[in-house]
């Protein structure tokens, strides 16, 4: 039986994509101490991912917080400084017998997303939300890869994507529409109120 080799398919539309090159970028990693058996493995792999993509050790800051609930607050504070190109959030939440897990998962997820949106600084989500300790171990380097490493790569790529999007020329900024027609300037006259 002969195998038929095909060429790599072309995309229909050119896409803006990031690169996995962290050279010259600065990162903050917020890591929860709770469930340190897991979070330390995630942290080490996140640092490994950053270094492998070209980040310098001096450009990586690690901030430790008590638990996952405190991650969004620290991430927001770090993003607001303007000193970091991306924030990597690392934690581990394990389901228990009460609704506490669901409340914390929702708040951490919402808080990290809100911080990223409001500050404009990319945040990557390396917070494990697992039903069992075995699932967490698998995601911290055993069977399912390492989510800390993946979060680091996502952060690097998002910084690059943000830069690529920001450098795109805009027809609107030049006073033209997409069709190339000039946008007329609107002159608004102020009316004086009659008292």
Distance CA 162, CA 120 (A): 9
Given pLDDT bands bounded at 50, 70 and 90, which one contains residue 13?
confident
Given pLDDT bands bounded at 50, 70 and 90, which one contains residue 28?
very high
Radius of gyration of the chain measured on its C-alpha atoms: 22
Entry pTM: 0.81
Predicted confidence at residue 184, as pLDDT, reads 52
Inform me whether the pLDDT recorded for 112 exceeds 70. Answer: yes
Catalytic residues: 100
- Judge contact between 51 and 111, C-beta under 8 A: no
- Please say whether the structural domain 27-166 has been given the CATH code 3.40.190.10: no
Q: Per-domain residue ranges for the chain?
A: 27-166
Predicted confidence at residue 14, as pLDDT, reads 81
Q: Which two tokens stand for residue 19?
A: 């690169």
Inform me whether the pLDDT recorded for 169 exceeds 60. Answer: yes
């Amino acid at each position: 039986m002969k195998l038929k080799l095909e060429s790599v398919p072309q995309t229909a539309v050119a896409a803006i994509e990031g690169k996995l090159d962290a050279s010259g970028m600065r990162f903050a990693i917020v890591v929860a101490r709770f469930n340190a058996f897991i979070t330390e493995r995630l942290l080490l792999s996140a640092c490994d991912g950053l270094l492998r993509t070209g980040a310098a050790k001096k450009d990586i800051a690690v901030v430790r917080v008590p638990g996952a609930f405190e991650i969004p607050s620290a991430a927001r504070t770090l993003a607001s400084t303007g000193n970091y190109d991306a924030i990597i959030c690392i934690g581990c939440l394990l389901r228990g017998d009460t609704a506490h897990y669901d409340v914390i998962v929702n708040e951490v997820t919402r808080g990290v997303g809100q911080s990223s949106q409001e500050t404009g600084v990319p945040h990557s989500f390396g917070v494990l939300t697992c039903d069992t300790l075995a699932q967490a171990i698998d995601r911290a380097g055993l069977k399912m890869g390492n989510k800390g490493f993946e979060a680091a790569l996502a952060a690097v790529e998002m910084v690059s994507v943000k830069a690529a999007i920001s450098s795109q020329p805009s027809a609107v900024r030049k006073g033209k529409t997409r069709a190339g027609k000039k946008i007329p300037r609107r002159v608004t006259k102020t009316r004086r109120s009659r008292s």
